[in-house]
Amino acid sequence: MYQVIGGIISPVNDNYKKKDLAAAHHRVAMVQLALQMSDWIRVDTWECEQAQWMETVKVLRHHHHQLLRSLSPEEGPDQGTAVSPAPAAAPELKFLCGADVLKTFQTPNLWKDEHIQEIVEKFGLVCVGRAGHDPKAYIMGSPILRRYQHNIHLVREPVQNEISATYIRSALGQGQSVKYLLPDAVIAYIKNHNLYSRDSPQKGNGTRNSGAETGQGGPATAPLSSP
Amino acid sequence: MEDPGKTEVVLLACGSFNPVTNMHLRLFELARDYMNGTGKYRVVKGIISPVGDAYKKKGLISAHHRVIMAELATKNSSWVEVDSWESLQKEWTETEKVLRHHQEKLEAGGCDRQQDSPVLERPGRKRKWAEQRSEVSQKKSLEPRTKGVPEVKLLCGADILESFGVPNLWKSEDIAKIVGVYGLVCVTRVGNDAQKFIYESDVLWKHRANIHLVNEWITNDISSTKIRRALRRGQSIRYLVPDLVGEYIEKHSLYSSESEERNVGVVLAPLQRNTADTNSNPTV
């Protein structure tokens, strides 16, 4: 049995160079606005503040380390968590993603096998379903995932909600309304900073990476968020 | 800012709104973008008209709460508002009559006049009792629309369109008036059978120019039924309904197993009325 004590949204580094990726400080600001009303999810800027893009497993290691440090006996209980003073087991950090990300584990050269293993073995995955995806099949089709399937929690989405950032950007580019798909505060921010309109300057325009394609060589890239 | 070439449109959505969800609100946004995008129309207002308690649908909580939630949901909208006329009627009121009521109100020049809200007063939008309504309520058929008066159209999802086929749910003459006199703006999922349904119905086919199908590219499955189910199970409905609506539901403990049992065993008002009518015609 689990008790979820916190959620972290970690926007990717600008050096990921994904097409249409707006500057990190904007993306962080928008997440903060979106989380205004949340009492348990927060945004973390460590990843996007690094000098280079970094693999997901490194981000997980960093946050797990931070989590253990903040709850260790020497430093006293962290004020911000809802955990009871003496947790029976060490807190676990799990990678939350959509089924589309799970599928990208299959893309050649996108993830290092040892990273996939570390993610499912040491941390664990919480995977939310998405229309058109069959996460059980992805797990069964991969020896690593199969071995650690007990550590992969599949969440069925009772209310199917196919809002994708790709659609949002496309609708905005065409001057269509995205009200009720995003929090009003985020929509206002996008408007005020002229993000995602047809003529607004975007980082990463012109590169062919779309998250699921192979990188340009060098260290294997790893997709982090939905396209 | 009037464009003489364009027809002004008011989008009217009828339904239980039990509770109102982000999906309902999205319908308005999608419909407005679509109609404005045709270049022929200019959508000037959206109206949410929650059904009255006399509808007797299973799980329907009091109109008082449903109207307030709809008002909270549209608080931040510049063009969509709530009208409580339908919900205040003692007897259940056919959709065609609600359309007629709103069209006549517009004809009478009452574009900004609103019925008194049961509870919520919006700052800057004074609501007055529309007495004129009683004088024009007995019109049998609409006269040719006065030029310059916006046209009221029924905004709905594909489920409403397809409910035209449910026996005794709608009077066939009402369906004819809804599509023939007013018009339908129907938001459907891509690949939905709406077009096929229109093709297979003579009356819908005849007025197909007056039935606007709007594609919903994002599957949006946020039905009120699922919201109520999630609430009964203690699951989060965050981000599925506006925050203010979620807070109101929580504060008043609106939905439970008990509330879901309301009207169990009671016949839905339109079925009751249309079956009882000895002259009922088979629906489309």
- CA B100 remoteness from chain centre: 13
Q: Of the candidates A38, A161, A184, which has its C-beta nearest B220's C-beta?
A: A161
In which band, very low, low, confident or very high, does the pLDDT at A201 lie, cut at 50, 70 and 90?
Answer: low
Q: What percent of chain A has pLDDT over 70?
A: 81
Residue B128 pLDDT greater than 80, yes or no:
no
Residue B151, token pair as written in the block: 């046209």
Model confidence at B221: pLDDT above 80: no
Select the residue of A37, A161, A164 nearest B221 (Cβ to Cβ): A161
Asked if the bond preceding B19 is cis, omega within 30° of 0, the reply is yes
HSE-up of B104 (CA within 13 Å, CB side)? 20
CB-CB under 8 Å, A179 with B29: yes
Chain B hits for A131, Cβ within 8 Å: 219
Q: Tell me the average pLDDT across A155-165.
A: 82
Distance from CA of B244 to the nearest CA of A (A): 11
Out of B218, B221, B235, whose CB is closest to A167?
B218
Q: Determine the pLDDT at residue A216.
A: 37
Asked if the Cβ–Cβ distance from B25 to A167 is below 8 Å, we say no
The residue among B98, B96, B103, B277 whose CA lies nearest residue B174 is B96
The set of residues, in sequence order, having a beta carbon less than 8 Å from that of B112 and lying 6+ positions away, is none
Query: Does the pLDDT of residue B135 top 90, yes or no?
Result: no
B224: CB partners within 8 A, 6+ apart:
B16, B17, B18, B19, B20, B21
Query: Which of chain B's residues have a Cβ under 8 Å away from the Cβ of A184?
Result: 76
Question: How far is residue A159 from each of residues A101, A128, A156, B236, measured CA to CA in Å?
Answer: 20, 11, 9, 11
Confidence of residue B103 (pLDDT cuts 50, 70, 90): very high
Quote the tokens at residue A107. Answer: 């893309």
Per-residue pLDDT tens for B254-266?
A: 999 999 999 999 9
Strand positions, DSSP E, chain A: 7-9, 41-43, 95-98, 125-128, 152-155
Q: What distance in Å separates residue A53's CA from the closest CA in chain B?
A: 30
Residues of A in contact with B226 (CB under 8 A): 158-159
What pLDDT is attached to residue A70?
86
Q: Which residue has the higher pLDDT, A159 or A47?
A: A47
Chain A interface includes B243 (CB < 8 A)? yes
Residues of A in contact with B235 (CB under 8 A): 158
Average pLDDT estimate for B247-272 = 94
Greater confidence (B162 vs A95) lies with A95
More confident residue, A55 or A130: A55
B229 interface with A at CB cutoff 8 Å: yes
Contact B156, B186 (CB under 8 A): yes
Domains of chain B, CATH where assigned:
7-280 (3.40.50.620)
**pLDDT mean over A215-220:** 36
Q: What amino acid is encoded at A221 in this protein? A: T
From the list A102, A104, A108, A114, the residue with the least C-alpha distance to A149 is A102
- Asked if the C-beta of B226 comes within 8 angstroms of chain A's C-beta atoms, the answer is yes
Please count the residues of chain B: 284
More confident residue, B244 or B276: B244
Q: For all residues of chain A together, what is the average pLDDT?
A: 84
- pLDDT band for B15, please (50, 70, 90 cuts): very high
